[in-house]
Structure 1
Amino acid sequence: MLAPQLLRGALLSPFKRPRPDAPLDTTPRTRPAARPDPRHLTTYADLCGYDNAPDAALPLTYPHILGFPLAMGIMSTPAFPLPLLGLVHTSIEIAQERPLRPTEELEIGVHAAKLSPHRRGTEATVVTEARATDGTTVWTSTSTYLARHKTSSRNNTPQATGSAPADTTPLPARAEWQLPPDLGRRYAAATGDRNPIHLYALTARALGFPRAIAHGMWTFARCLAERRREHDTPGPVHVRAEFKAPVLLPGTVVYAAEGPAFELRSPTGAVHLTGTVLPAG
């Protein structure tokens, strides 16, 4: 289902002229009665390190996967002003009101919310919501995607997401993970996100990377799975992460955490992802 959208988005990309004041269609797209396929959920949970027990709650990141085809449908249309090729996922924020059951039926809605100037180009904010059968919103994610292009001096400001200066003190290391060269292909098979930068060194080099890179959503999901082992939260959860630098495949990364903060970094100290568990509610 995603292949035609990816192809359309790739073909339209050279004709897009991104700018923060471009018109943006904010009409939502919906997927009613979405329910995880048990085999697909098992594959995803195993790949991202989540508990796969029958009574385990739905992984915190999984509704994002349910909404991904809708998001791709929006970003691959002629009306979406940013080119799909080269679009970089820069941040994600998830608020979950309660644990979700794997057997639960959800209505998924996705819409593009706004465009914002960024020091390196233009950022789009895309919102995904999951609603229970009674109509209440039980899960929301807000993602930003950056289209890199030359900017005028008035746009040469800190990124529109407005993060505070990071503390340079390294967090204590909790685990070290060896990432195989086919991780991007395995995640693409599980989620449908077949961006060429994640698949092979050859296709990644064509888009400016020395070799294939891990999906940002895999790094985020893997960190949350590790954190859930240490701090399983039965109530509301609110978490935010920023994707700082690509993770090259194959490679080694270090998961570090202390209190509400967590990060993924290389053994040399280069930071790939920073995250914070925010107060719920």
Structure 2
Amino acid sequence: MLYLRAAAGLLPTRRPSTLPDRTLTQSGVRVDLAHLAAYDRVCGFRLSDTLPATYPHLLAFPLAMRLMVGSDFPFPVIGLVHVANRITARSVRADAELDIAVHADNLRPHAKGRQFDVVAVASHGGSEVWRGVSTYLSRSASSAGASPAGASPAGASPAGTSPAGTSPAGTSPAGASPAAGGGRGPASTFHPPPASAIWRVPPRTGTDYAEVSGDHNPIHTSRIGARLFGFPKPIAHGMWTKARCLAALEGRLPGEYTVDVAFKQPILLPARVSFHAAPTGTGWEFRVDGKRPHLAGVVTPP
């Protein structure tokens, strides 16, 4: 139903010029342990009695979609580009009862349109234990032919796309600058850092993640759907890529941290990509690359 409402949002209509001043909430959310186990398998996490830092994003996703398909939202959800995501997380037990709240914030101009944040907060016992900030770009008509390199009309989907500026924290994640190998020049001039690991991303990654995340955007699950948005093949969800990076660092991360990523070129499925991670003294820098950069991120203290 949410995707039908998203499609209906493409019909011409008058929209407000500001973000809605409302917060959607859901109380008493409990994790289905079988679902959590399926998510862990898809993203590469070990089975644990604590939640991966990216898992509460799934719990908040239905509320975020409800917010963005509302008639009081200034942009149609189909066509939005997810350009960055920041998560601040504490160790949360899998059996914890959570209260989820989602709102939109910080509408601001961008060279290619306008950006805004969707802020999701999970609380336990009245205390905040998780916060996620997803930054989206709505491209203006005048810049429709000049979208960020590799950007996908993601329709609120966390698809891997080019960065549209800075991360939600206001700082570029590792490798986001051209000097660090995150430039947008020809693929032949791109030289990623030495790989810590090589990952083979199978063609079913999009459908597998769609099943556990609830994000069934056809650019991730259907060749026809991907082609309708200019991709030759389905692309991996950006939030799957972020989760896969954190899974690779599992056991080396503190109990509390902030992880900030910029989504770059989408990963066309199937793919062979390199993962690079390096300690920074206070955290980690990491990135995923193919012939072009796909994701760059940094883990810092909260």
For the criterion TM > 0.5, the same-fold answer is yes
> Which residue is equivalent to 1:172?
194
Pairing partner for 1:112 from 104, 110, 134: 104
Match of 2:20 in 1: 25
Shift of 1:151: 4.8
- Alignment pair present for 1:149 and 2:173: no
Q: After superposition, give the CA deviation of every residue in 1:85-127 in whole Å (9 maximum; x if it has no partner).
A: 122211011111x300000111011001121222222222100
Instruction: Give the TM-score taking structure 2 as reference length.
Output: 0.82
Q: Does 77-86 or 169-178 show the bigger shift?
A: 169-178
The yes-or-no answer on 1:265 pairing with 2:289 is yes
Secondary structure of the 1:277 match is: strand
- From 89, 92, 117, the counterpart of 1:100: 92
- The 5 Å alignment of 1:8-47 reads 8-15=5-12, 22-47=17-42
What's the counterpart of residue 140 of structure 1? 131
1:60-105, Cα deviation, whole Å (9 max, x unpaired): 0011100000000001112111121122211011111x30000011
For 1:176 and 1:64, locate their aligned partners in 2 and report how far apart those are by CA, in whole Å.
26
> Any stretches of 5+ residues in structure 2 without a counterpart?
148-163, 182-191
**Matches of 1:201 and 1:16, distance apart in 2:** 30
User: What TM-score do you get using the length of structure 1 for normalisation?
Assistant: 0.87
Residues 163, 151 of structure 1: alpha-carbon distance in 2 compared, 3 angstrom cutoff: farther
For residues 197 and 11 of structure 2, the distance between their equivalents in structure 1, rounded to whole angstroms, comes to 41
2:211 is aligned, of 182, 189, 193, to 189
Matches of 2:21 and 2:44, distance apart in 1: 34
CA deviations on 1:37-74 (whole Å, 9 max, x unpaired) are 01110100110011114x4x211001110000000000
Partner Cα distance (2:81, 2:217) in 1 = 11
Out of 142-151 and 28-37, give the one that drifted further.
142-151
Are the equivalent residues in 2 in contact too, given 1:173–1:256 (CA < 8 A)? yes
Q: Specify every segment of 5 or more residues in structure 1 that has no aligned partner in the other structure, as ranges.
A: none
Q: Kindly tell me: are residues 262 and 163 of structure 1, through their superposed partners in 2, closer, same or farther at Cα, counting changes over 3 Å?
A: same
Q: Does residue 255 of structure 2 align to residue 255 of structure 1?
A: no
User: How far apart are the structure 2 equivalents of 1:149 and 1:137?
Assistant: 35
**SS of residue in 2 equivalent to 1:15:** coil
1:149 is displaced (CA, Å) by 2.4
Structure 1 counterpart of 2:254? 233
Give, as a single letter, the amino acid of the residue that structure 1 aligns with 2:285.
A
The worse-fitting range, judged by mean Cα deviation, of 175-184 and 61-70 is: 175-184
Displacement after TM superposition at 1:202 (Å): 1.0
> Residues 94 and 240 of structure 1 are in contact (CA less than 8 Å); yes or no, is this contact kept in structure 2?
yes
Question: Secondary structure of 1:59's partner?
Answer: coil
The residue that corresponds to 1:73 in the other structure is 66
CA distance in 2 between counterparts of 1:245 and 1:117 reads 22
Tell me the secondary structure at the aligned position of residue 233 of structure 2: coil
TM-fit CA distance, 1:17: 7.6
